[in-house]
Amino acid sequence: MMNYEEFKQQVVDHIKEHLTEEYANADVRIKQVTKNNDTIQDSLYINNENERVSPAINLNESFMAYERTGDFNAEMEKIADIRMNADPHLDIDINSIMNFEAMKDRIDCRLINLESNSEYLKNKPYKQIEDLAVIYCVDLGKNTDGIMNTVVTDSLMENWQISADELDRVAMENLSQNENMLFGSMRDMLKNAMYPDVPDDDSSLDFLLPPETGPQMYVLTSENKLYGAKYLADTERMDNIAEKLGGDFIVIPSSINECILMPNDGSIDRKTLEAMIHDVNVHEVLEKEVLSEHAYAYDSQAHELMRADRYEERQASKQMFQAVDQALTAAVGEEKVAYEAKTERAEKSEASREKISVKAQIADKKNLIAKNTAEKATPSKNIHVEL
């Protein structure tokens, strides 16, 4: 069996034998491309003369398939099919890609990890959401192998003569109108994928699927199961999901293609959850499809997606402020009662003092009147009488 370097050389040397005559003079070359999570992909390009757009065929994945089967010719046929089946869909003129008005309805986005893409993001506009990044791409159509697109770079945005804010606004509008989002319980998703012909009320499903009652896990993805995590950037949709789930919810980033959501009932241990996420990323998810090692939470009141550790800090701060507020309210209440009692006593004391003062004044007045009357009734010793 060939090693990887031998495999690549054999592909370049013999791929035309599996293509139609129109590719007899095509340029065949391999280019290393930085992909998501700064992974390096060997991409095969097969271009006829004057052909500026062609699919980038992943030779790393082709080699892994060859290692599993040992059938080189079968992999060559797959590569040839990808190239030839792409032709009818590569009908977008390169000049139209440079025209923003012509492309604005095709602008889409993806959600990737910010910290793991330092190289990949160097020449691309992006919007940060916590330790994640929203990047932008142009949808070029679909073929039997999936969707074709080109990622928006700084140079393409300069050609469009638009700002990063305008690019994000258009992408978010398109995302909100995208009808390909899938959201449902894990039980329903598994049932539809694995047992589509089994009636919903068949009791055997209870042994094959997650329970129908109790806490549920939900799956967020896209109709084609590609780049479904991008819907986390759609605040209106997240608000709708929060309403369905009864408030704040936890987000498990399965991959860039899908996420698992759970109502936040306070019973989920974040560290245990993140240990599970790490284990799945290592053993189950392709490196280029890993989204994050962290769990996230959606704060339905703040309308904000955040890392679960920050969400916990926010909730702890809220609880602390609530406790302080309650303590202050209680203290102010007690102080108010004490103040009112003191004021009441003071008012009573003052009223009492006023009453005593009035009585004293009346008594003094009476004494003064009596004295004056007595003085008027007694003759003065110095009175002079004229005859």
CA separation, residue 368 to residues 253, 327, 360, 375 (Å): 98, 60, 12, 11
CA 338 to chain centre: 50
Q: How far apart are the first and last CA of the chain?
A: 166
**Domains in the chain: boundaries:** 1-89, 92-177, 181-311
Residues facing residue 149 across a β-bridge: 139
Q: What is the mean pLDDT of the chain?
A: 85
Backbone phi, psi, residue 52, to 5°: -100, -15
pLDDT for 319 equals: 80
Q: How far apart are CA 62 and CA 170, in angstroms?
A: 36
Instruction: Read off the pTM.
Output: 0.77
Q: Are 142 and 107 in contact, with CB atoms under 8 Å apart?
A: no
3 state SS of 167: helix
pLDDT at 197: 77
- Residues 295 and 309: their CA atoms lie apart, in Å, by 8
Per-residue pLDDT, 346: 62
In percent, how much of the chain has pLDDT > 90?
Answer: 60
Within 8 A by CB and 6+ apart from 79, the residues are 11, 15, 18, 44, 57, 62
Q: Could you tell me which of 228, 272, 223, 222 has the C-alpha nearest to residue 250?
A: 272
At 33, give phi and psi (nearest 5°). Answer: -125, 135
In 114-214 the beta strands, taken as DSSP E runs, fall at 127-129, 132-143, 146-151, 181-185
Give CA–CA dist 149/157, Å, rounded: 15
What pairs with residue 84 in β-bridges? none
Q: Which long-range contacts (CB under 8 A, 24 or more apart) does 92-96 make?
A: 92/53, 92/140, 92/141, 94/52, 94/53
Tens place of pLDDT per residue across the chain (387 aa): 899 999 999 999 999 999 999 999 999 999 999 999 999 999 999 998 877 777 889 999 999 999 999 999 999 999 999 888 875 555 566 678 899 999 999 999 999 999 999 999 999 999 999 999 999 999 887 655 556 788 999 999 999 999 999 999 999 999 999 989 999 988 877 877 777 777 877 777 776 776 776 678 999 999 989 999 999 999 999 999 999 999 999 999 999 999 999 999 888 899 999 999 999 999 999 999 999 999 999 999 999 999 999 999 998 888 888 788 787 777 776 666 666 666 666 666 555 555 555 455 555 555 655 555 555 444 433 333 332
What the block records as the tokens of 285 is: 């998810």
**Strands 249-252 and 132-143, sheet pairing:** unpaired
